[in-house]
Amino acid sequence: MENRSSEISGFYKLSVDERLKILESFSDLSPEEIETLRMQGSLGTELADRLIENVVSTLELPVGIAPNFRINGKDYLIPMAIEEASVVAACSNAARIARVSGGFVSESTEPIMIGQIQIVKYDSLEKLKSTILEHETDIITLANTRSRTLSSLGAGAKGIEIRTLDDPQKSVVVHLLIDVRDAMGANVVNSMCETVAPYLEEITGCRTNLRILSNLTPHRVSRSRAIFKRDLIGGEAVVDNIISAYQMANVDPFRAATHNKGIMNGIDAVLLATLNDWRSAEANAHTYHVLTGNYSLTRFSKTPEGDLMGEIEIPIAVGTVGGSTNTVKKAAIYRKILGVENSREFANVLAAVGLAQNFAAVRALSSEGIQKGHMSLHARSLAASVGAEKEEIDLISDTMIKNGTISMSKARELLEDIRKRTNK
């Protein structure tokens, strides 16, 4: 074991079986563990090996459905892929409460993405800016040669912005503003940046460095709002507590990190189920506060009637065409279940899900505490993990919760006791 080396020449050229043999030796995996890795699920080895590099297996997550959602007058069933207990249930319950007041009202701006081209080593800043602006039409025309599809839709590159950074090189950054329609947009934005960069060098005599999209999308923002009836969420005290909790999150970065994580619990789960880029969504959401000055992505206030108004403003770049979303059959099916027709409708749904999940989390914190729901589901998960089945899971879970001891060892002890009494 001491002489193991991870330096493997041509690992990418090997078959999945050959890679598994290397893992078996390197990590001392048992035949049963290797056989578990061979279980590829519905994705299959061949497709998985085409999607990413050095594939050895796949990993499946539970996918649950959050019912009760009504958004802009339309009903939705929301597929959510997540390993964390209570998220799907909490989201569903929040949607049920909001539905009483008509559900969620969402809106999204035009799907404008930003492509960044970094310019360094210039002499005169004013001359550089004026030269770029003089050639703006040519820059946009050149960028649009990279996508006939977008051009035919009246979309594509629409304009430019010029920014100066306070980095050691005093970089100038040219932003291409690109309408990507129903795509997330990464590939076409990157292609446009790489096409335009040599032209910028030609007209300015300067050197370009980075040429890539930004995952921060201040022009591509979604908003959603809903009213949660006071009598359905615990009364006036709970309404006041939720507002107080939001106010804390809006000024305290330590609380905001957890507050906004609750939003992304919901959004990421939908993005995972439909195989959209949840890492991009995370980076986008958590950087947005730099522009707005608000740590919290949600706002809660009291209506004149004393009910709770919840609102969210969040940048969302999501696609309904391109990427892996149509390549993987289950992802395509989950998107069909979701029933969105374009990227803006998809973003509207995600904003509503984020608001619902955040409301549910803050409500739990402001009333009975977050652990009550978490521990109930955690107890069931522990019971299942030690081999309990059907009625055994309920009995073990209920006993652990009643006794206030929720652990793997306790679940195993209770299971052994049950099976001794039933002679299993």
The angle that helices 371-385 and 391-403 make with each other, rounded to 10 degrees, is 130
Which of the residues 21, 129, 261, 302 is marked catalytic?
Answer: 261
| Residue 277 among the catalytic residues | yes
Which of the residues 229, 330, 374, 398 is marked catalytic?
Answer: 374
Q: Is 76 exposed, middle or buried (0-12, 13-18, 19+ CB in 10 A)?
A: buried
Kindly report the number of other CB atoms within 10 A of residue 404's CB atom.
7
| Residue 75 among the catalytic residues | no
- The residues, any chain, with a CB within 8 Å of residue 335's CB and separated by 6 or more, are 274, 320, 325
Scan for tokens 């964390």, then name that residue.
84
Spell out the SS3 assignment of the chain: CCCCCCCCCCHHHCCHHHHHHHHHHHCCCCHHHHHHHHCCCCCCHHHHHHHCCCCCCCCCCCEEEEEEEEECCEEEEEEEECCCCCHHHHHHHHHHHHHCCCCEEEEECCCEEEEEEEEECCCCHHHHHHHHHHCHHHHHHHHHHHCHHHHHCCCEEEEEEEEECCCCCCCEEEEEEEECCCECCHHHHHHHHHHHHHHHHHHHCCEEEEEEEECCCCCCEEEEEEEECHHHCCCHHHHHHHHHHHHHHCCCHHHHHHHHHHHHHHHHHHHHHCCCCHHHHHHHHHHHHHHHCCCCCEEEEECCCCCEEEEEEEECCCCCECCCCCCCHHHHHHHHHHCCCCHHHHHHHHHHHHHHHHHHHHHHHHCCCCHHHHHHHHHHHHHHHCCCCCHHHHHHHHHHHHHCCCCHHHHHHHHHHHHHHHCC
Which of the residues 277, 313, 345, 392 is marked catalytic?
Answer: 277
Which of the residues 35, 60, 84, 394 is marked catalytic?
Answer: 84
| Residue 261 among the catalytic residues | yes
Instruction: Tell me which residues are annotated as active site.
Output: 84, 261, 277, 374
